[in-house]
């Protein structure tokens, strides 16, 4: 009863606390948040999207060790020289290209020219990374027991991005 009370108190403190953002010496963005401890049924009740990801990966929620969701946004400005972009139809000049705009769920691209030579572009890219750590049970035919390995699955929700490296470290 005392352990359950302490778990509830820790979870309440974590939920009331804000995410701490800071930059490293190399100007890398860091977000720090404490661990939230949930039971399997509490996870199923409160984090439906995470349970759906586990179902897609064919991982049983009761075998999860930990899970993490990270959202990142990339912004950078591009300046380039605009070449002649004239819209013609039937040998008539209709218009010159002055602005570009593109937007979908993950990428926003806007650019305009002020003097028909220089082109200023703003690109915003949003990505959601889901990390799921789970136990892989030993198997003999249809019987599953014990733990064969601990694995981490990392999913990028942005179809424009590619995960190039992932590492999971657990301290005991």
Report the largest interatomic distance among the alpha carbons of the chain, rounded to a whole angstrom.
84
> Among positive and negative, which fits the CA dihedral 19, 105, 112, 117?
positive
Q: How many helices (H) and strands (E) does the chain have?
A: 3, 9
Query: And the tokens for 30?
Result: 């860091």
Give the pairing of strands 107-113 and 118-140: antiparallel
Q: DSSP secondary structure string, 87-105?
A: EEETTEEEEE--EEEEE-S
Domain boundaries, the chain: 76-124
| pLDDT tens track, the chain, 172 positions | 998 998 898 888 888 888 778 887 877 677 777 778 888 888 889 889 889 998 999 998 888 888 888 888 777 676 766 665 556 666 665 656 677 788 888 888 888 776 667 778 888 888 888 888 888 888 898 888 887 877 778 888 888 787 777 767 654 4
Candidates 28, 19, 18; CA nearest to 74 is 28
């Amino acid at each position: 009863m005392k352990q359950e009370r302490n778990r509830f108190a820790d979870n309440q403190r974590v939920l009331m606390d804000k995410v701490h953002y800071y930059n490293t010496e190399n100007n890398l963005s860091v977000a720090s948040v404490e661990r939230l401890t949930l039971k399997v049924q509490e996870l199923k009740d409160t984090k439906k999207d995470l349970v759906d990801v586990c179902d897609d990966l064919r991982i049983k929620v009761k075998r999860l060790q930990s899970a993490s969701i990270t959202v990142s946004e990339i912004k950078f400005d591009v300046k380039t020289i605009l070449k002649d972009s004239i819209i013609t139809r039937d040998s008539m000049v209709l218009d010159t290209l002055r602005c570009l705009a593109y937007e979908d769920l993950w990428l926003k691209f806007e650019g305009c020219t002020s003097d028909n030579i220089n082109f200023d572009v703003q690109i915003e890219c949003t990505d959601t990374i889901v990390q799921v750590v789970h136990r892989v049970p030993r198997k003999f035919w249809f019987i599953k027991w014990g733990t064969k390995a601990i694995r981490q699955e990392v999913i990028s929700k942005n179809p424009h991005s590619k995960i190039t490296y992932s590492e999971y470290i657990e301290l005991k």
